[in-house]
Structure 1
Amino acid sequence: MPKPTTDESLPPMRAGERECRAGGEQYCLSPLPAPTDSEHGVDVAHIDVRHDEATMDLRQGASPESLLITGHVASGLGIFILGIGAFLLLLAFFGGGLPLATIPWWFGVAYGISLFPFFTGILFPDVVLKRIPPIRLHRQRREVAFVVDIPGRRFWLPDPTNMWLMAINGPIAMVTGYYTIWEFAEFLRPGVEAAFPIKMPLLHIASLAFLPLYPHFHDFCRKLVGQQRQTVLVPWEDVIAVCGFNPSLSAGGVTGFGWNFALMPPDPERPGYTLPGAGIIVGVGGLPGALAQWEYIRRFMEEGPEAITPSAREWGLEWYDAQVARERERYERTNDQRRWQRFRREQWWNHARFAHWYTEYRMKHVLPRAVPRDWLAEWSRPLPEAQWARPSRPLTELSEHLRATYQRGEPFVEMGNVEQRFSVEVEPPPRKAYPTLPFAANAP
């Protein structure tokens, strides 16, 4: 989450308010969690990774798109490596042979280059996904659990999700991998006395293990300085939901615009601020998409899982095999051989089957590692209906006014502050910290 650059409190926005600045717009949807009369509640950004009768987990999940790009890059690098090999074969054929040293050189280059898509598409994204805990909503308690950063003493180690770690560690692994193969080839060459290579292989192994092991060292150091993460339980009606139309800026000016949806916990002790390190911001297609995403979450909390329709899963081997079967059926029906061959080439070039298989693996085995196995186990259990928390009087009154207004054709985004519009009085929340639980311990 962006950190504030001033100690002055910002005016907190309320549901219905609109703010324009720097060429962008921002619409506030909550608090209170007001209905927006969106025609459909849709998980536009695919952030609902799990839900049951009582709870829902929101987070940016794995998707095959990034792996398809990685496969595309890997295919291009593979063609480049094969091109070098073919060039060496041609030199050997027309030039009467090549020195034996070119063989380990080629294998070393091929191995080093192959590490680039491995680091950028698999290893580093897995590290990032393991560091992003979900937001857990409990509709029966009407509470939302956020994992926040608790400030402690000054901490200088870079975060494991810092891309500079991968940008430095990746080239080191590529170079040491090349020299490791080269030194082993020199050691195995007949007639050459060479010591068994130790230093370079150890450096290469350390460079491969650095990204998976560094997060554990980072967390250990954070614990020593008192910067452990905490789970904060925020009342559902206090949660901040906004959607914004923001420009993308560069040194040359505005490069584009995009719509985002954000769900964040407010800081009860500092109005206008959010708790550090918590919340989620995802891209949506436009204002209707942002409203649909909000309605998906709001309807689950207010009406239950039967009021939402989860998005169709577009990843995994089962979905991929069904997609291939649909394309094959279309080819057999239309006899459009050119389309079928183009489809098959694209799938092969992008390593689509591997991308969908690994996406399924990430969803089942990588994402759950972002939280301890017993995280909020007791808190997440369903409650007897007699113990369910109920909507507040201001929210019930506001929802009735809004639905009556929607029937008259007035859209939510043109109403302004809906609490003032309908004279709904909301008592200011007390300035005290929300209930906090340990993140990495078995807590109810």
Structure 2
Amino acid sequence: MPASDNDTIEEINIKLQRPTAGEVRKFATGEAVFLAPLPVPTGDTPMDLDGSFIEINESFLDIGSSNFNKAFQTQAMIGLVMAFIITCVVIGPLIIGLTAFGDPYGRSFTDNFLEFFFPGLEFAMWGALGFSAMGIYVILSSTFNKTRSRPIRFHRQRREVCFFPNGSDDPVIQPWEELVAWLSVSTESTGESIISTYTFGMAFDDPKSDKVHFVNQGVATPLHGLGKWEAIRVYMEKGPEFCPGQAPYEGRHTFDKERQDMHEEYQHNERSALGVGWWYLTHLITWWRFPYWVAEWDHRFSMKSLPESIAEWSNPLPSEQWVKPSSALNEQSAKIERAFAQGQDFMTYFKANLSKTEAKESADSSAL
């Protein structure tokens, strides 16, 4: 989850006035619903779809960047290059060649094919170089950016959170129940449709520098953002056995497992012969095991380690020293859990629904 350099509207509002869980604040392009302070249950399924749980034990949880989806990122880059080459060298010349049928000048399929093939080959080479350079930059920069930032550490026994701003060795220690977290939606119109962008964010107060540090992460849907926060919350409130496990690292063993699963699906009639052929074709085009080798390479570059100054803070505490939840949190959690039992969800309980906001704005735009 990268730190944000530019303040968004909801971040500026946080600086001016601290929110409460369930509060909704509107801004120019959308709205934000706050999940904390006072981190009450959301009722959603805890999930870690982006592989950000990089260390988890009885004392603390580290949220950061693993090599999860690195193989897919590499496959996407290679697939883009290969699709461009195939279009220029094979599909394009074939289409031009087929125009030979009924050609008034009597040119053959071969004549038309070769007339386009060599210019297409040259164009493919230059285009492939450009796309490859772009892909290599994305792959390398995402890996090296990971090594320059530190994970966020949630200590459940202390009920505190440790955050290190980029470039700093001074920790920002935030009480868990005072941490600000939110889920926001921002919409913009393309003239023909409405595009919605969802963001899960957290804010860390730094009293030493009188600053607020923001961490933002784009999520696909509100459910993904709520599930991510619920995974963190349930770890802090209930323990590691109630939340997703540590993110597994990807490598060539991942490829072998995927191929084995594909064969088992075929044997149990869960995948067709056409599906098997497509699996082999797509992996051949994206260079077979190479993307998984890149993922193994990325795995060797971990996030920047936490300094020794935080080692003592990270140690487990005797059970009698564990910090207890506040009475305010217990009371509010009990109320919302009773509402869940009656069929409500987090959004309806707090009268906030980002999906409905998106639908309303889309309808208003259509009416215009």
TM, length-normalised to structure 1: 0.60
| Contact 2:82–2:286 (CA under 8 A) maintained in structure 1 | yes
Return the offset for 1:128. 1.6
Please list, as runs of the form range in 1=range in 2, the aligned pairs for 1:40-51 lying within 5 A after superposition.
40-51=45-56
Q: 1:348 to 1:373 in 2, by over 3 A?
A: farther
Return the offset for 1:7. 11
Q: 1:118 to 1:28 in 2, by over 3 A?
A: closer
1:67 and 1:29 map into 2 onto residues whose CA distance is 34
| Contact 1:18–1:26 (CA under 8 A) maintained in structure 2 | yes
**2:177 is the counterpart of 1:243:** no
Q: Which amino acid aligns with 2:278?
A: R
Q: 1:402 to 1:72 in 2, by over 3 A?
A: same
Select 2:212's aligned residue among 275, 282, 306.
Answer: 275
> Percent sequence identity over matched residues?
24
1:374 and 1:383 map into 2 onto residues whose CA distance is 18
Question: How far does the alpha carbon of each residue in 1:331-373 deviate from its partner, in whole angstroms, 9 at most, with x for none?
Answer: 456594432222111012123522223224323x2123x2357
Residue in 1 that maps onto 2:256: 321
Q: 1:388 to 1:121 in 2, by over 3 A?
A: same
| Contact 1:238–1:265 (CA under 8 A) maintained in structure 2 | no
1:283 and 1:7 map into 2 onto residues whose CA distance is 21
Secondary structure at the aligned position of 1:12 is classed as coil
Secondary structure at the aligned position of 2:289 is classed as helix
Return the offset for 1:111. 11
**2:80 is the counterpart of 1:73:** yes
Q: Which amino acid aligns with 1:16?
A: G
Residue in 1 that maps onto 2:241: 306
Select 2:345's aligned residue among 388, 411, 415.
Answer: 411
2:264 and 2:343 map into 1 onto residues whose CA distance is 45
Secondary structure at the aligned position of 2:264 is classed as helix
Secondary structure at the aligned position of 1:29 is classed as strand
**2:123 is the counterpart of 1:122:** no
| Contact 1:20–1:26 (CA under 8 A) maintained in structure 2 | yes
Q: Which amino acid aligns with 2:174?
A: V
Select 1:11's aligned residue among 2, 13, 17.
Answer: 17
- Aligned residue pair count: 312
Q: Which amino acid aligns with 2:82?
A: S
Residue in 2 that maps onto 1:263: 202
Q: 1:292 to 1:332 in 2, by over 3 A?
A: closer
Please list, as runs of the form range in 1=range in 2, the aligned pairs for 1:209-228 lying within 5 A after superposition.
228=168
* Larger mean Cα displacement after TM superposition, 396-405 or 231-240: 396-405
Q: 1:268 to 1:415 in 2, by over 3 A?
A: farther
1:315 and 1:32 map into 2 onto residues whose CA distance is 36
Task: Say what the alpha-carbon RMSD is for the aligned residues.
Answer: 3.8
| Contact 2:153–2:162 (CA under 8 A) maintained in structure 1 | yes
| Contact 1:68–1:352 (CA under 8 A) maintained in structure 2 | no
Select 2:170's aligned residue among 230, 238, 261.
Answer: 230
Residue in 2 that maps onto 1:381: 315
Select 1:347's aligned residue among 283, 289, 299.
Answer: 283
Secondary structure at the aligned position of 1:246 is classed as strand
Secondary structure at the aligned position of 1:242 is classed as strand
Question: How far does the alpha carbon of each residue in 1:224-260 deviate from its partner, in whole angstroms, 9 at most, with x for none?
Answer: xxxx45321111111111111222567x697611322
Please list, as runs of the form range in 1=range in 2, the aligned pairs for 1:144-223 lying within 5 A after superposition.
144-148=161-165
| Contact 1:138–1:144 (CA under 8 A) maintained in structure 2 | yes
Q: Which amino acid aligns with 1:58?
A: I
Q: 1:267 to 1:374 in 2, by over 3 A?
A: closer
Select 2:301's aligned residue among 366, 381, 385.
Answer: 366
Secondary structure at the aligned position of 2:302 is classed as helix
| Contact 2:252–2:292 (CA under 8 A) maintained in structure 1 | yes
Query: Radius of gyration: which is bigger?
Result: 1
1:399 and 1:340 map into 2 onto residues whose CA distance is 49
Q: Which amino acid aligns with 2:200?
A: F
Q: Which amino acid aligns with 1:275?
A: V
Residue in 2 that maps onto 1:97: none
Q: 1:82 to 1:289 in 2, by over 3 A?
A: closer
1:235 and 1:76 map into 2 onto residues whose CA distance is 50
| Contact 2:79–2:285 (CA under 8 A) maintained in structure 1 | yes
1:48 and 1:140 map into 2 onto residues whose CA distance is 18
Residue in 2 that maps onto 1:338: 274
Return the offset for 1:121. 3.8
Unaligned runs of 5+ in 2: 91-124, 352-368
| Contact 1:30–1:240 (CA under 8 A) maintained in structure 2 | yes
TM, length-normalised to structure 2: 0.71
Q: 1:352 to 1:396 in 2, by over 3 A?
A: farther
Unaligned runs of 5+ in 1: 84-107, 150-218, 220-227, 418-444
1:79 and 1:408 map into 2 onto residues whose CA distance is 57
Q: 1:375 to 1:110 in 2, by over 3 A?
A: farther
Q: Which amino acid aligns with 1:144?
A: V
Question: How far does the alpha carbon of each residue in 1:289-326 deviate from its partner, in whole angstroms, 9 at most, with x for none?
Answer: 32222211111001111112338758332232111112
* Larger mean Cα displacement after TM superposition, 67-76 or 111-120: 111-120
Q: Which amino acid aligns with 1:232?
A: V
| Contact 2:66–2:247 (CA under 8 A) maintained in structure 1 | no
Residue in 2 that maps onto 1:35: 41
| Contact 1:67–1:355 (CA under 8 A) maintained in structure 2 | yes
Secondary structure at the aligned position of 1:401 is classed as helix
Q: 1:360 to 1:263 in 2, by over 3 A?
A: farther
